[in-house]
Every structure is written in C-alpha cells, then in structure tokens.
C-alpha cells in the first residue's frame, strides 16, 4: 500500500529499482517530521530488501524510493542496517521518555504505578507499535532471517531495551539488589520478545492482553510482588482444647496483630 500510494504522487515514476522521485527539490531535502521520515525510510528499505535482496539494494535506490537525496539519507543514517531498524531508534527514545517521566514524579502515588509496573507498561509501547504495523514487521522478519549481520544487530537492539529497563530500576530503587534488577529486566525483555515474535508470525494467542498477563506474572514473581502482602497470625493450644476456645484465642491474636501494624 505504501509503495502504491507513492507511485501516484506528483513527480514520482516507476523504475526497475522501484519508485523514483523526479522532483529535485524533494531529492535535496525532506520536509517530513523526523519520526515520519524514519518510518518512510524503514518502509522503503524493507520493501527494496524484500524485492531485490539486502546486498543487492544500494543506498541510492533507497534514497530515491524515500524521496530524498543520498546526502540527506546519510545525514540521518550511517548504514543500511540503521535504515532497516530506524523505527527502533524512535521506540527506544519513547521507552526512555516514558520511564524518564516516571522518574520526575518518583512518588508512586503520582505515577500511578510502582517502578516494576512502570517497566511492564514501557514494554507495551514496543508491542503496540508492531501490532499496529504488523505487515511491515513481517517483511522485516523475513529480511533479517536471511542476513547474519542483521540478526546480530537485532540482538544488540534487544539488549538496549533491557539496559534502559535496568538503568531506570537502579535509579528508582537504589537499595535494590542488582541481581534482582538485572533478572527482572531480562525476564520482561525475553517474554516481551517471545510474544512479539509470536504475534508477528500470526499466533492468535499473542495479544496485548496475553502479554499483560505474562508481564504481570513476572512482576509478582520477581518484582514488587502483590500490593497487599498476606499477614500470618500464630496461635498455640494444648491438644484437646475446645474449638470455641481456639477460635476466641485466634480472634484475640488477630486484634493484637492488627494493633501492632497500625502502630
């Protein structure tokens, strides 16, 4: 759909290498919003990589398809790898901004969520983005699967998300065990990526709701746990004590435990 709509724009013609912009003003610069520009470059680069192969596609072809000059393209991206993962750069910034905003209101009552929960919410940003752009994600998955260098780049990108989570939790929870923080961030990242790949591959069970359920389980097991911890009261009695006396003793103990907690 994206390629077809481009072909109908004034100044665009079809060529063997794909859509080509004949307007010299468009080729010299771009008036698009930076985020929109990156999305356009990602879409066009993935389309060309899918049609022609990663190694066979040139930067010049991508620039022509995106409607910018080669020089403009290189001002934004250092390599073809940068182009195919350009939307991840925007997502990384969004995730960091979301958690940074939580940092500024460090009181959990202001943010509405504890730090462990905030990480789960930030991870949902990435899943939702690719849920909304699944067709593009499917094409990229096929391209990346056939290029070792791109698979390596994808692993590095995954770790960058995990590192953002770790850095945020260390800032918000300075007294927390580093092992616990690293384990939590790794678990959130791994489960998110598994669900994300399942969604991209067409698994009907890989929904946003299912992701939230699984991330919530991790939070309870490794993070902040339940918001209202369970209390335990102990009553000792001599074998043969009537049940009524045991119940009365338990009632008194519960009242005593409640008084201690209020103090």
What pLDDT, in 10s, does the model give residues 1-25? 333 333 333 333 333 334 444 333 3
CB 128 within 8 A of CB 158: no
| CA–CA gap between residue 17 and residue 249 (Å, rounded) | 85
**Mean pLDDT along residues 88-117:** 75
| CA–CA gap between residue 170 and residue 54 (Å, rounded) | 39
| CA–CA gap between residue 28 and residue 182 (Å, rounded) | 46
Q: Where are the domains of the chain?
A: 2-83, 86-222, 231-263
Cα 97–Cα 98–Cα 102 angle in degrees, nearest 5: 110
| CA–CA gap between residue 22 and residue 25 (Å, rounded) | 9
CB within 8 A of 195, min separation 6: which ones? 127, 206, 210, 211, 214
**Mean pLDDT along residues 188-203:** 96
| CATH class of residue range 86-222 | mainly alpha
Nearest Cα to 139, choosing from 231, 45, 229? 45
pLDDT band at 249, cuts 50/70/90? Answer: confident
Q: Does 86-222 match 2-83 at the fold level?
A: no
Q: For residue 190, is pLDDT > 90? A: yes
CB 172 within 8 A of CB 115: yes
**Mean pLDDT along residues 19-44:** 61
State the first-to-last Cα distance of the chain, in angstroms, to the nearest integer: 65
H helix or E strand, kind and range, residue 233: none
Q: For residue 28, is pLDDT > 90? A: no
pLDDT band at 256, cuts 50/70/90? Answer: low
| CA–CA gap between residue 134 and residue 192 (Å, rounded) | 15
Which range has the top average pLDDT, 29-38, 82-91, 245-254? 82-91
List, for residues 123-182, the tens digit of each pLDDT value.
999 999 999 989 889 999 999 998 998 999 999 999 999 999 999 999 999 999 999 999
Domain 2-83 has CATH 3.30.43.10: no
pLDDT: is 10 or 186 the higher one? Answer: 186
Q: For residue 27, is pLDDT > 90? A: no
| CA–CA gap between residue 251 and residue 56 (Å, rounded) | 78
Tokens linked to 227 = 């918001």
**What local confidence, expressed as pLDDT, does residue 229 receive?**
43
pLDDT: is 228 or 44 the higher one? Answer: 44
């Amino acid at each position: 759909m994206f390629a077809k709509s481009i072909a109908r724009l004034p100044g665009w013609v079809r060529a063997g290498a794909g859509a080509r912009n004949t307007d010299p003003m468009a080729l010299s610069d771009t008036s698009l919003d930076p985020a929109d520009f990156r999305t356009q470059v990602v879409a066009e680069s993935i389309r060309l990589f899918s049609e022609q192969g990663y190694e066979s596609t040139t930067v010049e072809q991508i620039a022509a398809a995106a409607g910018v000059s080669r020089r403009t393209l290189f001002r934004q991206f250092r390599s073809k790898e940068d182009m195919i993962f350009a939307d991840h750069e925007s997502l990384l910034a969004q995730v960091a901004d979301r958690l940074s905003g939580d940092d500024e209101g460090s009181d959990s009552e202001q943010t509405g969520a504890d730090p462990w929960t905030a990480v789960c919410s930030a991870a949902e940003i990435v899943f939702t983005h690719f849920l909304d752009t699944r067709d593009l994600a499917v094409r990229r998955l096929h391209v990346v699967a056939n290029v070792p260098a791109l698979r390596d780049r994808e692993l590095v990108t995954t770790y960058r998300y995990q590192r953002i989570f770790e850095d945020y939790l260390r800032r918000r929870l300075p007294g927390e065990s580093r092992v616990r923080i690293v384990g939590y961030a790794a678990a959130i990242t791994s489960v998110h990526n598994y669900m994300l790949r399942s969604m991209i591959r067409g698994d009907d069970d890989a929904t946003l709701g299912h992701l939230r359920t699984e991330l919530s389980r991790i939070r309870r097991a490794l993070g902040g746990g339940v918001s209202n911890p369970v209390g335990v009261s102990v009553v000792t009695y001599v074998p043969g004590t009537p049940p009524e006396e045991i119940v009365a003793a338990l009632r008194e103990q519960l009242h005593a435990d409640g008084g201690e907690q209020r103090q």
